[in-house]
Amino acid sequence: MKQMLKGKVIALLSLAFLLIMAGCAEENVASGEKGESSQDDVIKMGLLLAETGPASTLGASQVKTVKLLQKQLDEAGPINGKTIKLIQYDYETDDTKAVVAMDKLLSEGVVAINAATQSSTTTAVMPKAIEAKIPFLAGAPIDVENEYVYSTVHSPRVIAMPIVDYLNKQGIKKVAWLNAADGFGVTGLPAFKELAKENGIEIVAHEEFDATATDMTIQLTKVRSKDPEAIIVWSRTPGAGIIARNFKALGFDIPMIQSTAAANEGFLEQVKDDNENIFVVGSKLSVLDQLPDSEQKELLKEFKEAYEQEFGEEPDLFAAHVVDGVYAFVEAVKAGNTTAEEIHQYLANDLGAFLGVTGTYNFSESRISPEPDGISVLAIENNTWKYIE
Amino acid sequence: MFDVQNLSTRIGKIQILHALDFHVNKGEIVSIIGANGAGKSTLLHTLAGIYSPFEGKVTLQDDTISGLPAYKVVGKGLRLVPEGRQIFPGHTVKENLTLGIYSKYYKDRKYVEENLERMLELFPGLKKHYQNLGGNLSGGEQQMLAIGRALMSDPKIILLDEPSMGLAPKIVNEILEILIRIKEEMGTMVVLVEQNVKAALKVADRAYVMDQGRFIMNGTNKEISSNPEVRSAYLGIKVG
Amino acid sequence: MDLFLQYLITGLTVGSIYALLAVGFVTIYNVTGVLNLAQGEFAMIGALSCVTLVNLGIPILGAIPLAILITAIIGFGVERLAIYPARNATPIILVVITLGVSIFLKGMGLIIWGSSPKSLPPIVESRSIQFFGAVINSQSIWIFILLFVLLILLYWFFDKTFIGSALRASEKNPHAASLMGINTSTMSTIAFTIAAALGAIAGVMIAPLTDATYEMGFFIGIKGFVAMIFGGMHSVPGAVAGGLLLGVIEAFSGGYISTYYTDALAFGFLLLVLFFRPQGLFMRATGERV
């Protein structure tokens, strides 16, 4: 019997070890206060973000941004006698939980929604907002057009624009396209194809791979035989990093251009010390100090400094989406709109063009995407992002 | 001395063994005979620790072994040679024998070598198959191997479950002779369970007759062999 | 023929990763009859623990054995907490339990280490090597060597040592094994602990090539499992051959046919094997059947 007991003790200890490690990981702080002053004095915006779960690497900065914005709103005081409350729920990278959280938000009387961190989640919760006729600021790329839906995110077509600009500048006419065979990976090519055609660029090869596969040498070898002048990759990490490493190992001397999904620290880690010829479409926030002076630079700087001061780290493109969504909402409230319908009408007709952190918006002209002026093809130097003209 | 008192075993909801009492003295071969389904196998499995009795007590030379799991019973000095031999077909004869001493292996390598030698001497037919896979042996050879494997750990008592099953009479006799050698040369107590009553009564000192989980008769070899009921029911000898 | 050689080398490289996982699968299956769907997660834990240890300042040569030890302890814990209590259940239920363990470990991996890929330095500085027009990574060569060493080690362990013999007997016939005095539940624990260590070794060798993430276990786990089926479920050398074969099939079908259908083709091949040679492609004369 003693033998069995010893076994169980060791087993429980190893389980405890795992749990302690987990506890040391970042704490999940639930935000969102409920039930204070009466409906009339408070205007609520609901947000659904991935604070925990796999997408938390994208959502973490968004959650922090909400905290920062709420703080700024509180400090600024009520607008026309109304207090703005940002109510954020963590959907734990689970689309089902997101839908449940969405119901909760709607029942609390929010007059605008900003969601979500991921495309699949955004698509899942959007119908409820549309049904309730609540303006929905989409926080991830989606493929739907609806009068109530306003995208704060660049569409794949707009992300492809800086890439095409770069190709034109370099005089490149033949490219190979490689993408991950998942929800995100397949959105790139259809958008790029159109632009390529308009610009006389030929797609000489197209291969796919699993985003979690261990090696993409086969795909790269195949496209090499078609003699492309550049390779474009549309994939999240770790696949984005692995294919980049395979690319370098195979000794390609043409440029590789990656999508915004590679515009993060994780990718930089993966291609550390061997990243010549690798380019990524990223937010101008990452290369702020390298930008020429402009109104946009000032705006970005303001946000970046406020964020850094509050949290001790840099904000990223995902944070930018939240900022722009909330900004549009606040503008609507400032103009005296308090109900969902009023806000919706204002956004659609009266807001006009405004400069956001993500880029320039004009919802009256297009609700699908801001303009590409907030992103750019970035090079990598000294293991950090480099702005190229 | 091996003593069983009031032993009862249930399998599922059905009671198979009913308050069995028997004992084996040092230097004895005791046979348990009975028809198919009498519960003989269940009895051996209970003694070996595969099944747990819900009532009763089993003692082996002052050690209570009832309630212990099978692998611990082995360490106490009781070995079961199961029905169908159950040698490991993918292991060689040498590996099979060596596994037989698992409970004592690490104590003394020399001891293992000595016992291996002894088994080969006891079962010379195994010598030529020493490095051969167990699965390649004939039925009789496998039975020898199974018995040898059980003897490797120098047990105080060895139980055999129908060793004659499926074997030619010549081989059965060889096995019976070995049982006698075990009793006389090694001093090991032997419990022999058999449907083949003739074979069982050839070597037993005492015998118990089992029917539907109960002992209906017991006595010396002579008493049981000459009992008219036994003779008609189990030996097919018409009386009268 | 340039392409052919590259495809072959890449296929063998990727295949050796699958083979490393397959070896762990076979070990557990051989001793307990359980299909451990959490085997890939053992690799993940090994790799990520090693990353953490290296980041704490422990040199790589010390971090690797420590990471293997940590994973082995977790394997021990898994067997005691999840498998042992269910030891009398049917094989299907046990497989489902290991699936649950896999999900749990993957979730823990995410909580502890987050979702961005972590790099692990190789023991020896890795470089790309040119080989008759094809490229191979030096780390891949080390993986080959390791496979070979593991093959020998495991063969020696299971065939030549006493405890290996007892482990084999325990799987073949637990009933008879317990009559030898073998505690079959201890055997099961040993098997899981060894398999966890093997998984960790795989993870630590693979991570320098692919980076470690909480989700790395799933992909290589599935492939390792398929490799085991190719190789005949019971055979360690078969599993290695199966892994290499799978890698090569993927490489050639991707290279010469289409990368869109690589998975479909590999699974098609698996179905063929299951239909026509369910005992595995590489039969061994051990007198044992699957």
The string of pLDDT tens digits covering residues C144-179 is: 899 899 889 988 998 888 889 999 898 888 889 999
Is the Cβ of B1 closer than 8 Å to some Cβ of chain C?
no
**A210 φ, ψ (degrees, to nearest 5):** -85, 130
Distance from CA of C180 to the nearest CA of B (A): 5
For residues A90 and A97, give the distance between their C-alpha atoms in angstroms, rounded to a whole number. 9
**B170 φ, ψ (degrees, to nearest 5):** -60, -45
CATH number of A156-288+375-387: 3.40.50.2300
pLDDT digit string, tens, across residues B66-94: 889 999 999 999 999 999 889 999 899 99
CB contact under 8 A, B133 and C287: yes
What are the beta bridge partners of residue B189? B157
Comparing alpha-carbon positions, the chain B residue that sits nearest to C169 is B88
- In the three-class reduction of DSSP (H, G, I as helix; E, B as strand; rest coil), residue A256 is classed as strand
CB contact under 8 A, A208 and C260: yes
pLDDT digit string, tens, across residues A143-169: 778 889 999 888 888 999 999 999 999
- Is the ipTM reported for this complex over the cut 0.90? no
Best CA proximity match to C115, nearest among A238, A239, A211: A238
Domain ranges across chain C = 2-276
Distances (CA, A) of C151 to B1, C14, C31, C154: 50, 18, 17, 5
Which of the four pLDDT bands, split at 50, 70 and 90, describes residue A34?
A: very low
CB contact under 8 A, A214 and C210: yes
For residues B232 and B239, give the distance between their C-alpha atoms in angstroms, rounded to a whole number. 7
Evaluate whether A34 touches A86 at the Cβ level (below 8 Å): no
Evaluate whether A214 touches C220 at the Cβ level (below 8 Å): yes
Name the CA dihedral angle for C122, C127, C131, C134, rounded to a multiple of 10 degrees: 90
The number of beta carbons lying within 10 Å of the beta carbon of residue A269 is 16
Which of the four pLDDT bands, split at 50, 70 and 90, describes residue B200?
A: confident
Mode of pairing for the β-strands spanning A375-381 and A278-283: antiparallel
Is the Cβ of B107 closer than 8 Å to some Cβ of chain C?
no
Q: What is the radius of gyration, based on Cα positions, of chain B?
A: 18
Q: Helical H runs in chain B? A: 40-48, 70-76, 93-99, 109-122, 139-151, 169-181, 197-203, 221-226, 228-233
Which of the four pLDDT bands, split at 50, 70 and 90, describes residue A39?
A: low
Question: Percentage of residues in chain B with pLDDT exceeding 90?
Answer: 49
CATH number of B2-233: 3.40.50.300
Distance from CA of A65 to the nearest CA of C (A): 20
pLDDT on residue B207: 92
Best CA proximity match to C215, nearest among A50, A214, A186: A214
For residues B7 and A274, give the distance between their C-alpha atoms in angstroms, rounded to a whole number. 77
The number of beta carbons lying within 10 Å of the beta carbon of residue C274 is 11
Distance from CA of C285 to the nearest CA of B (A): 10
Instruction: Please report residues of C whose CB lies closer than 8 A to that of A221.
Output: 3, 6-7, 10, 255
pLDDT digit string, tens, across residues A187-211: 899 999 999 999 999 999 999 998 8
Q: Where in chain A are all domains bearing CATH 3.40.50.2300?
A: 39-154+300-372, 156-288+375-387
Is the Cβ of B151 closer than 8 Å to some Cβ of chain C?
no
Instruction: Please report residues of C whose CB lies closer than 8 A to that of A181.
Output: 260
Best mutation target among C173, C179, C288 (most B Cβ atoms within 10 Å) is C179
CATH number of C2-276: 1.10.3470
Evaluate whether C68 touches C43 at the Cβ level (below 8 Å): no
The CA angle B183-B187-B188, to the nearest 5 degrees, is 75
For C158-163, which contacts have Cβ atoms below 8 Å and span 24 or more sequence positions?
C158/C30, C158/C236, C162/B98, C162/B102, C162/B105, C163/C190
Which of the four pLDDT bands, split at 50, 70 and 90, describes residue C1?
A: low
Sign of the Cα torsion C219, C225, C227, C229 reads negative
The CA angle A259-A260-A264, to the nearest 5 degrees, is 120
Q: Which two tokens stand for residue B11?
A: 């399998």
pLDDT digit string, tens, across residues B16-63: 899 999 999 988 999 998 888 888 899 999 999 999 999 999 999 988
Distance from CA of B99 to the nearest CA of C (A): 7
Is the Cβ of B84 closer than 8 Å to some Cβ of chain C?
no
Q: So what's the architecture of A39-154+300-372 in CATH?
A: 3-Layer(aba) Sandwich (3.40)
CB contact under 8 A, C80 and A10: yes
Distance from CA of A266 to the nearest CA of C (A): 5
Evaluate whether B129 touches B141 at the Cβ level (below 8 Å): yes
For residues A15 and B18, give the distance between their C-alpha atoms in angstroms, rounded to a whole number. 46
Chains B and A touch (3+ CB pairs under 8 A): no
Evaluate whether A163 touches A192 at the Cβ level (below 8 Å): yes
Best mutation target among C259, C263, C265, C267 (most A Cβ atoms within 10 Å) is C259
pLDDT on residue B32: 92
pLDDT on residue B239: 56
Domain ranges across chain B = 2-233
